[in-house]
Amino acid sequence: MPKPKRTSKNFDTIESPAKKKATNKESTSDTDHNLISQTQEISIIKEPIKEPIKEPIKDFLIVVGSYERILYGINGCWVKSDQNDFDKCKPSLRFDPTFIFPAHIGCIKAVAVGSITTIQFYNKSHMISGSEDGTICIWRSKDWECLKILKGHKGRVNSVDIHPSGKIALSVSSDKTVRLWNFLTGRKAAANKLGREGEIVLWNPSGDHYAILMGQEIKIFNTIDGQVTQNFQLKSSRYLCMRYFAHETLGDLLIAGSEDKTVRVYNVKNGDCIATYMGHKNR
């Protein structure tokens, strides 16, 4: 039987072991080169892109008055659909009603929003508020109508206290003055310079004296002539709060708390510290 002839085509299809090993080596080298290139491309892609720092979007409050004598409070919120990618998603604005206040007896033509710094009630009929803009407002608690706006202070109103008679009031401010207000006329009656910022003002129960707290010092004034009758001081601490107490035999007592975790009781008549209480873990 005749043997099949070996053609060049059949011969080329049969690779020698050395040639096959070289081919595999070249293929492996090409694969490694492609993997390195892809890794370099991935590392380049994954490098963080430095973007300018963006200011956060803040929510806001809208206060609107109407001719129907109603005050509306609307909260504006910026909302984004994709919470996982908040920076890249375009925000949308959402409005949520927060309050509806039918307080005024006439149409509302102007509205102002500010920070309230102090509030004082007189019985259950009226409320006095002081604010950052230096104004004092008198409110009727029955319908929360603002009866009068008192202007005079040139700085933040820190404290307001109403006289036991309900006819006058005192206020202290960051402008370092104490002002007396006449509620019958709705005007300022007097103003005195303190030289220091008064933080708290307080009438005594009978209304013939008042106290002003100024950091490390509490001064007691006579209502008639405005003269200082007593002066209580701390050397290494400062006062934070005070309250009058009418004692049956000792008369007016002033109770003051301070930053040194101490409560002191003063006899206003003779100026003595008659008691000291320590027990608070903080000021």
pLDDT for res 98: 78
The per-residue pLDDT for 279 is: 81
Tokens 């002539």 sit on residue: 225
| Helices then strands, each counted (H, E), the chain | 2, 19
List the structure tokens of 9.
Answer: 């085509």
Distance from C-alpha of 96 to C-alpha of 247, rounded to nearest angstrom = 52
- What's the CATH number of domain 115-278, 1.10.3720.10, 3.30.420.10, 2.130.10.10, 3.90.1200.10? 2.130.10.10
| 3-class secondary-structure state, position 5 | coil
Residues 267 and 163: their CA atoms lie apart, in Å, by 21
With CA atoms as reference, report the closest residue to 171 among 206, 131, 122.
131
- pLDDT (0 to 100) of residue 168: 94
Task: Return the domain boundaries, the chain.
Answer: 57-113, 115-278
For residue 277, what are the CA distances in angstroms to 38, 213, 233, 262, 270? Answer: 76, 19, 17, 6, 20
| Strand blocks (E) in 145-208 | 145-151, 157-162, 168-173, 177-182, 187-193, 200-203
Query: Which among 234, 195, 196 is positioned nearest to 216, based on CA atoms?
Result: 234
Per the structure block, which two tokens stand in for 132?
A: 């950052």
Phi, psi of 39 (to 5 degrees): -65, -40
Residue 273's pLDDT is 95
Q: Are 204 and 218 in contact (CB under 8 A)?
A: no
Structural contact between residues 217 and 209, judged by C-beta atoms closer than 8 angstroms: no
| Alpha carbon distance 278, 166 (integer Å) | 36
pTM of the model: 0.62
Contact indicator for 229, 220 with CB cutoff of 8 Å: yes
Q: What is the full per-residue pLDDT of the chain (283 aa) written as tens digits?
A: 555 555 444 444 444 554 444 445 455 555 555 544 554 554 444 455 555 444 456 677 787 777 666 777 888 888 776 555 555 667 788 888 877 767 566 666 566 566 788 989 898 889 899 999 999 999 888 888 889 999 999 999 999 999 999 999 999 999 999 999 999 888 999 999 999 999 999 999 999 999 999 999 999 999 988 899 999 999 999 999 999 999 999 999 999 999 999 999 999 999 999 999 998 877 7
Q: Which of 237, 221, 222, 229 is nearest to 276 (CA)?
A: 237
Q: Phi first, then psi: what are they for 20, rounded to 5°? A: -65, -40
The span from the CA of 198 to the CA of 214, in Å, is 5
Q: Is residue 139 within 8 Å of 147, Cβ to Cβ?
A: yes
Give 3-state DSSP helix, strand, coil % of the chain, rounded to 5. 10, 45, 45
For residue 70, what pLDDT is reported? Answer: 77
